[in-house]
Amino acid sequence: MQKFRLIAALGCALVPLLLSACYEQKSAPAAAKSLLQACPGFAETGKPPLVYGAQCGELKVKENPDDPNSPEIAIAILRLPAISPVAQADPLFLIQGGPGGSSIDMANQLHGFFADVRKNRDLIFVDQRGTGKSNPLHCEKMSLQDAKLPDAVQQQKQLEIMRNCAVRYQQSLPFYTTRHAVQDLDAVRVALGYQTINLWGVSYGTRVALEYARRFGDHTRSIILDAVAPTAIALGKYSARDMLAALTSVSSECMAQVDCAAHYGNPLQKAEMVYARLLAAETAGQPVEVTYQHPRHQQLASHRLTPRAFSMLMFMALYSRDTTVLLPEMISRAEQQDYSLLAALLALTAEQAHSMNIAEAMHFGVICNEDWPQISESERQTTAPFFGFNPVEEKGAICDFWPAASLPDDYWQPINSSVPALLLSGKYDPVTPSTWADYVASSLPNSTRLLVEGGNHGVSTEGCMPQIIAQFIERASMTGINGDCATKIKSLPFVLGANEAASSASSTSSASSQGATP
């Protein structure tokens, strides 16, 4: 089907006199000419454009769309044009998560995985208002040196930073919610001349895609939701539960692998022992200090290992398939009081978090107005933490003073839509487990769910998933598409070198069966 459409597109290019109707599909790029220009090149930035023909621009909108006297803000746009000279008329809009992440920044790491989609369709990245280059609402950041402070001191300092940030943006924050974001997305659609669009969202980006399908269903051709996060997830409410479930799954998988069980024992039990030891040391005023070799520049560095740092590291490691594989090794070493790997991973995750460019004020504008209202006072008091980390309590301390926004009465209702939808989940996702895809699918009758057995938070780039997504977008349907390959994307071996050992054993067995000699 995909090959047929590509040949058909080339046919339009070759015989324009016979098939002049094909050129109607060029209307969207033509409409963009006044809004988008060639992205800055090497001379301006020191880097080449992301792809040949990449276009950048911005659309001015009112900060408060209901007030004609409201100040204007700029919504930043990146368009990666389709490779085909006669692109399909419905592009793919790609939406970052967070909340607070930049979709345009995401394009640098992601666009290559959507190369098959881009053969026939434009890829559009829009920085949501309050993020990236769209009037970002940033708060002061704690320094890397703050990680050496006691947990309680760090949390108090962060709380004070957020109080000041709330005061700084108090007049603007009511207009930086998902409702306003989808209005901006549709304004971009209109400005670029597209009649219908496809949407791909990851994590919080799935909420944006769902809300767009609710408000602008007539302009939505299909949606792909990776790591589904509807409003009902009430970010924070179930976080500790889901983190523990993901870590428990990893531990169980390790125990089911003979080599992993022999090397590391029970990772979950050992993690509890490590946390208890770090907590006792912190409480006694004798925190664990470790000197280690920094994995990036190989220089000696030191780190204070607080109990919260250990909890957050396990949580962050569960985000990625590549770092999850290190958890049994890291936990086992730490249980033996070898903290070098733990400290090295902490250093890397701290630097990555520092460079993620999350717009904190926009983040809490969403969390405190869309998620926090669904958490009762009793739930706040009784929700069990994840190794001492209590997302409900920590978010609540900020949401207690955060400026309020007005949302539609139906905002928290399930989104009922017949739009073709593909819902993706990872088995070890610590934030948006597959239960949320099941919940959303119940009101999307034209939806398909795929669970990636070895996946974590966000699975669109794993294994065969880019091809599955491309086929789904081409057809706006999963009919005739075999998604079984998702179940064959397994977790990486928890014992380092296991793949090589298995390969070596297999080669030896094969050589022996053929009568070969070493």
* Full DSSP string of 59-70: EEEESSTT-TTS
List of domains in the chain: 26-138+176-234+415-488 (3.40.50.1820)
Angle at alpha carbon of residue 516, lines to 510 and 518, rounded to 5°? 100
Q: Per the structure block, which two tokens stand in for 48?
A: 């080449």
First vs last C-alpha separation in the chain: 48
Question: Do 345 and 323 touch, CB atoms closer than 8 A?
Answer: yes
Tokens of 71: 């100040």
**What pLDDT shows up at residue 295?**
79
**What does pTM read for this prediction?**
0.88
Please calculate the CA angle 314-317-319 and round it to the nearest 5 degrees. 120
Q: What six digits make up the tokens of 148?
A: 């050496």
Nearest to 422 by CA among 451, 456, 455: 451
CA–CA separation, 477 and 1 (whole Å): 12
Which pLDDT score is estimated for 502? 39
- Residue 354 has φ and ψ, to the nearest 5°, of -65, -30
Rounded CA-CA distance 404/365 in Å is: 8
Which residues contact residue 108 at a Cβ distance below 8 angstroms, ignoring those fewer than 6 apart? 50
Look at residue 357 in the predicted model and tell me its pLDDT: 84
Query: Over the range 339-377, which residues count as b (16 or more CB within 10 Å of their CB) and which as e?
Result: bebbbbbbbbbbeeeeeeebbbbbbbbbbbbbbbeebee
Task: Classify the C-alpha dihedral 176-442-462-330 as positive or negative.
Answer: positive
Q: CA-to-CA distance for 305 and 188, rounded, in angstroms?
A: 46
CA distances from 310 to 183, 266, 267, 313, 442 (A): 40, 17, 14, 5, 37
Rounded CA separation 301/356 (Å)? 22
C-alpha distance from residue 77 to each of 28, 34, 49, 53, 260 (Å): 15, 13, 14, 14, 47
Count of Cβ atoms closer than 10 Å to residue 317 Cβ: 23
In whole angstroms, what is the distance from residue 492 CA to residue 254 CA?
Answer: 11
Residue environment code for 248-280, b if the CB has 16+ CB neighbours within 10 A, otherwise e: ebbbebbbebeebbebbbbbbebbeebbebbbe
Q: Rounded CA gap, 233 and 247, in Å?
A: 19
Q: What is the crossing angle of helices 391-399 and 151-168, to 10°?
A: 30
Predicted pLDDT at 32: 63
> Is there a contact between 49 and 7 (Cβ–Cβ < 8 Å)?
no
Check if the beta carbon of residue 273 is closer than 8 Å to that of residue 324.
no
301: how many CB neighbours lie within 10 A of its CB? 16
Q: Look up residue 196 and give its two tokens.
A: 């219908």
pLDDT in tens, the chain (518 residues): 333 232 233 233 333 222 233 333 344 455 566 799 999 987 888 888 899 999 999 999 999 999 999 999 999 999 999 999 999 999 999 999 989 999 999 999 999 999 999 999 999 999 999 999 999 999 998 887 787 788 889 899 999 999 999 999 999 999 999 999 999 999 999 999 999 999 999 999 999 999 999 999 999 999 999 999 999 999 999 999 999 999 999 999 999 999 999 999 999 999 999 999 999 999 999 999 888 888 778 888 888 899 999 999 999 999 888 889 999 999 999 999 999 999 888 888 877 776 678 999 999 999 999 999 999 999 988 999 999 999 999 999 999 999 999 998 889 999 999 999 999 999 999 999 999 999 999 999 999 999 999 999 999 999 999 999 999 999 999 999 999 999 999 887 888 544 444 333 333 333 323 333 23
Q: Which two tokens stand for residue 220?
A: 């939505």
DSSP-assigned beta bridge partners for residue 300:
293
Residue 433 has what pLDDT?
Answer: 96
DSSP 8-state code for residue 367 = I
Asked whether the beta carbons of 146 and 308 are under 8 A apart, the reply is no
User: How are strands ordered across the β-sheet holding 123-126?
Assistant: 36-38, 55-62, 72-80, 123-126, 92-95, 197-202, 220-226, 421-426, 447-452
| The predicted structure's pLDDT at residue 496 | 57
**Beta bridge pairs of residue 93:** 124, 199
On whether the CB atoms of residues 225 and 121 are closer than 8 A, the answer is: no
